[in-house]
Amino acid sequence: MTQHYRITLLPGDGIGPEIMSVAVEVLKVVEKQFDIQFEFQEALIGGAAIDATGEPLPATTLDMCRNSDAVLLAAIGGYKWDSLPRHLRPETGLLGLRAGLGLFANLRPAKILPQLIDASSLKREVVEGVDIMVVRELTGGIYFGQPKGIFTTETGEKRGVNTMAYTEAEINRIGRVAFETARKRGGKLCSVDKANVLEVSQLWRDRISQLASEYPDVELSHLYVDNAAMQLIRWPKQFDTIVTGNLFGDILSDAAAMLTGSIGMLPSASLGATGVGVFEPVHGSAPDIAGQDKANPLAQVLSAAMMLRYGLNQPVAASRIEQAVIQVLDGGDRTGDIMSEGMNYLGCRAMGDALIQELEKLAS
């Protein structure tokens, strides 16, 4: 029986629309190859939404996302909107989407592809074989904690405040996702916190340690976040799955991403307890190259693969896309960000065409 899925597309800003259109073309090929039918509906978010409606996350967008099986997001933001008040910034739209869909678990894989080892700024022996999954808590911690704001003190001085807070329930649910993820991967989980200084981290560490008894097959370790940052650069192969809070996860996932050479290759999945997941590249909207057909669409395409695997339970179709990406790289095709000597330079659209050719070969 044909599986029917309604997908909300959020192309957003900068290179977003270009890379999204490649991902949609790829999905249209996948649709023909498997017994799947997509109904795509497009909505506004970020700067594009601010320009059109005056707000970064219009209510209609959130409704459309809620009424779909999965959301594929490209990227948001750009210089143009950087000086707007915070509630009108593109980033606020993204945070609203995460909160509005209850997406507390953010999975950010950083896996180095053998074809791209020389694109890493670290030595081959340090990065070869790196395969890390960062599980970042996404709807709590200092991003959302109260009180927050810029207040005026009694002396008339301004004081900026954010609050890092986690409840036991919030730690338990992200902890469970992390243990389950580690169990399906290399069986090792490293929890990252700052328990030597922060109470919120002490509770985090206590809860995660408690949970470990439910997962005897997973080997749990703990690191302070400063040490974790160092270890990621020093010897990343010691890591399998990492679990951490919102802010530490934001920072460490960028560092982990860069181990692989280009942030332009990495997808992510944001999942809630039930319902709709959001799938998006780790990279941003790259306004400096927007509209020039220079963007690398592979992270977007791999996000579509993650959508098939984690959001729609279509692992075979997901693998097909991932395989096509590997074949294209094996054939020597490269966008500018992963270009190296002797390789074949392609723009964004041409990279999409190359992927489609490979997909068609894989089906025959």
Q: Which is nearer to ligand IPM, 8 or 92 (CB)?
A: 92
Long-range contacts of 288-292 (CB under 8 A, 24+ apart): 289/15, 290/13, 290/14, 290/15, 290/18, 290/78, 291/15, 291/18
Residue 249 burial class via C-beta count within 10 angstroms: exposed 0-12, middle 13-18, buried 19 and up: buried
How many angstroms separate the CA atoms of 11 and 8, rounded? 10
Q: How many CB atoms lie within 10 A of CB 129?
A: 12
Q: Is 280 in the site for Mg ion (CB under 5 A)?
A: no
Q: What is the footprint of ligand IPM within residues 250-289 (CB under 6 A)?
A: 250
Distance between the two ends of the chain, CA-based, in angstroms? 22
Please confirm, yes or no, whether 118 is among the known catalytic residues: no
Helix, strand or coil, per DSSP, at residue 105: strand
Q: Which is nearer to ligand IPM, 311 or 352 (CB)?
A: 311
Options 90-98, 112-120, 225-233, 335-343: segment touching ligand IPM (CB under 6 A): 90-98
> 39 has which bridge partners?
6
Q: Which is nearer to ligand IPM, 115 or 253 (CB)?
A: 253
Binder to ligand IPM among 45, 57, 74, 94 (CB under 6 A)? 94
Active-site hit among 13, 193, 240, 250:
250
Q: Which is nearer to Mg ion, 225 or 354 (CB)?
A: 225
Torsion of CA 106, 314, 316, 300, to 10 degrees: -50
Q: Which two tokens stand for residue 142?
A: 């200092």
How many angstroms separate the CA atoms of 117 and 129, rounded? 9
Binding partner of residue 94 among Mg ion, ligand IPM, none, CB under 5 to 8 Å per kind?
Answer: ligand IPM
CB of 97 to ligand IPM, least distance (A): 10
- Report yes or no: 67 and 101 within 8 Å, Cβ to Cβ: no
CB of 153 to Mg ion, least distance (A): 31
How many angstroms separate the CA atoms of 132 and 118, rounded? 18
Binder to ligand IPM among 31, 91, 219, 293 (CB under 6 A)? 91
Binding partner of residue 91 among ligand IPM, Mg ion, none, CB under 5 to 8 Å per kind?
Answer: ligand IPM
Amino acid at position 304, single letter: A
Please confirm, yes or no, whether 111 is among the known catalytic residues: no
Torsion of CA 324, 327, 329, 335, to 10 degrees: -40
Q: What is the footprint of ligand IPM within residues 28-87 (CB under 6 A)?
A: none
Active-site hit among 5, 143, 166, 215:
143
Binder to Mg ion among 193, 250, 337, 358 (CB under 5 A)? 250
DSSP state of 293: T
CB of 196 to ligand IPM, least distance (A): 24
Beta strands, E only, 102-260: 105-111, 131-137, 149-152, 158-161, 188-193, 219-224, 241-244
Please confirm, yes or no, whether 353 is among the known catalytic residues: no
Active-site hit among 226, 330, 345, 361:
226
Q: Which is nearer to Mg ion, 280 or 358 (CB)?
A: 280
Please confirm, yes or no, whether 254 is among the known catalytic residues: yes
CB of 143 to ligand IPM, least distance (A): 7
Q: Which is nearer to Mg ion, 13 or 250 (CB)?
A: 250
Q: Which is nearer to ligand IPM, 100 or 331 (CB)?
A: 100
Please confirm, yes or no, whether 215 is among the known catalytic residues: no
| Residues with a known catalytic role | 143, 194, 226, 250, 254
- Binding site residues, ligand IPM, CB under 6 A: 91, 94-95, 250
- Binding site residues, Mg ion, CB under 5 A: 250
